[in-house]
Amino acid sequence: MTSLADYARGLPKAELHLHIEGTLEPELMFALARRNGVTLPYADVEAVRAAYRFEDLQSFLDLYYAGASVLRTAADFHDLTWAYLERAHADRVLHTEIFFDPQTHTDRGIPFATVLDGIHGALERGRRELGIGYRLILCFLRHLPEAAAEATLDAALPHLDRIDGFGLDSSERGHPPSKFARVFARARTLGRPVVAHAGEEGPPAYITEALDLLKVVRIDHGVRCVEDPALVARLARERMPLTVCPLSNVKLRVFPDLAAHNLLTLLRDGLCVTINSDDPAYFGGYVGDNFAAVAEALAPSRAELRQLADNSFEAAWLTAEERARCRQALADYDAAAT
């Protein structure tokens, strides 16, 4: 008899909330630092891991942006993305929709095309060699001015054939979605769906702004919606997906522990909840670990775990044919589980 955690870990799934810069494991950080002649402020890999004790989102972001400084060449971005895809494959991720933060790199003088070539090349290789489907989402950094996001959108225009959507991440408090209403309006005219982080640390009003002003098709995190029952009802009625990241929420102290997480309550309220890893190198687990940890801490039924995986296919930007193939893999897995 398979344990609930093993059943959860092995479910065929899509990952919809993953920052590629957040998959930089300390070992690769040191290897790239050596390759590029970058000096890190840590003696070794253990010292890096020991620094991963966060108070809140900002204390994480400070380390996350510092870590990204070792990424210089297209080969670096390729190696980063490839390492993630190998782990995703082991976690039975059939399809992944990943974020990248171009401003973190262009502000250090790395050309936009270098970043994109490296990431996209690895995603194509993953599709060919591992059978993992993908979409690539450009995120604007919300702690920077809207004009900087506009300039980033301009830089992206020649590469739109490789950019499938736009998102909003970084420091949430004090940077409401309304700050980016104009650049998101322009992004939508390009015929790409948009998403935004909202209601991770920010109030439920930021979720409402993301829906009404940015016109997002998914909310990244969104767990603070519970503070506004009318908003919860709306999210359920609209089947608006939430890309929830359980281990991230505990590491960044959004919840004191996993047993206190509200994702199962939201699922039972009819919301399209999905499980994702966010920044797995920093938060102690990839998407399979997140599924397994939820199974252990919250004791969902197998049907609920299967629903969480099915929601990931519902919320993913798949063609009808791709979605049917993913759902068949899920049905086959469930039928074979003992």
- The Cα–Cα gap between 312 and 290 comes to 14
Segment near Zn ion (CB under 5 A), from 124-132, 136-144, 277-285, 287-295?
A: 277-285
Give alpha helix (H) positions in the chain.
Answer: 4-10, 26-36, 45-50, 57-67, 74-90, 102-106, 112-130, 146-156, 181-189, 204-209, 229-237, 246-251, 263-268, 280-283, 287-298, 302-315, 320-336
Q: Which residues of 226-237 are buried (b: 16+ CB within 10 A; e: fewer)?
A: eebeebbeebee
Q: Are 221 and 242 in contact (CB under 8 A)?
A: yes
| Six token digits for residue 257 | 């522990």
Residue 57 binding: pick among ligand HPA, Zn ion, none (C-beta 5-8 Å cut-off by kind): ligand HPA
Binding characters for ligand HPA, 210-249, by CB under 6 A (x = yes):
--------------------------------------x-
- Residue 239 beta carbon to ligand HPA: minimum distance, rounded to whole angstroms: 23
Give the full edge-to-edge strand order of the sheet including 218-221.
195-198, 218-221, 242-244, 273-275
Of 57, 110, 225, 271, the one binding ligand HPA (CB under 6 A) is 57
Is residue 59 within 8 A of residue 51, CB to CB? The reply is no
- Tell me whether residue 278 is annotated as binding: yes
Does 207 engage in binding with ligand HPA (CB under 6 A)? no
* 15 contacts Zn ion (rule: CB under 5 A): no
227 belongs to the catalytic site: no
| Residue 9 interacting with ligand HPA (CB under 6 A) | no
**How many positions of this chain bind ligand HPA (CB under 6 A)?**
11
Contact status: 197 vs ligand HPA (CB under 6 A): yes
Q: Determine whether the annotation assigns residue 17 to a binding site.
A: yes
From the CB of residue 319, how many other CB atoms can be counted at a distance below 10 Å?
Answer: 9
- Is 197 flagged in the annotation as binding? yes
Residue of 25, 97, 172, 200 with catalytic role: 200
Instruction: Establish whether 143 is an annotated binding residue.
Output: no
Indicate which residues carry an active-site annotation.
Answer: 200
Site residues (CB under 6 A) for ligand HPA? Answer: 19, 22, 57, 64, 169-170, 197, 200, 248, 278-279
